[in-house]
Amino acid sequence: MLYRICRAILVGFLRVCYRFQVFGAEHLPPTGPVIVVSNHANFIDPIVVGCSLHQRQVCFMAKEELFRIPLFGGLIRRLGAFPVKRGTGDRGAFRAARSALAASKVVGMFPEGTRYRDGKIHPLKPGAALLAVESGALVLPMVITGTHRLKPFRFPRIKAYVGPAIKLEATADKKGMVRQGTDQIYTRLIELWEKSGGSG
């Protein structure tokens, strides 16, 4: 209930302030485990992803520092987020993600690993592909445009482009499959980025 209320408020905010539009939201599978992967330019991107996929709740890996903020940390935890230690291959976060996927939930990830404000897609970390291979979850690619231009008192148009879900099959060569899967996800994000008109 809290998630739906917050999402409804934020969708209205995005539409009024940023003329928010979503293309391809119907590609979200209605059931089963899904990993949503997106580019990342601004702290608002998790909100954009969640508001774009209104059919289901999205649980995010979020940097652990956010959970230390009074009140805010408790709020995002109630909204389904779980902490990750950036740059350390945090096993606890991956266990939490696998648990969420085992419960047929939707997990949101930003596989570039950090925020980039140049409006481009950057090489991906292998974590999303590894999680997909290990869990059997579908991967849903998404590209967000406009948030790299977001500044105080500046209201760029924000758009989200969602592509068809990808299935990464596990093979005996797990490392090779993860590399191939990472390349496949990156290719899909580049295709969506080009479809969006580049940096938007």
In the chain, where the domains are located: 2-195
Question: Would you say domain 2-195 falls under CATH 3.40.1130.10?
Answer: yes
Torsional sign, CA 84, 89, 93, 98: positive
| pLDDT (tens digit per residue) in 106-124 | 999 999 988 888 888 999 9
| pLDDT (tens digit per residue) in 124-167 | 999 999 999 999 999 999 999 999 998 888 899 999 999 999 99
Task: Count CA atoms closer than 13 A to 138's CA, side-chain side.
Answer: 17
Residue 103's pLDDT is what? 95
Task: Count CA atoms closer than 13 A to 110's CA, side-chain side.
Answer: 25
Q: Taking 60 as the threshold, does the pLDDT of residue 170 lie above it? A: yes
For the whole model, what pTM was predicted?
A: 0.90
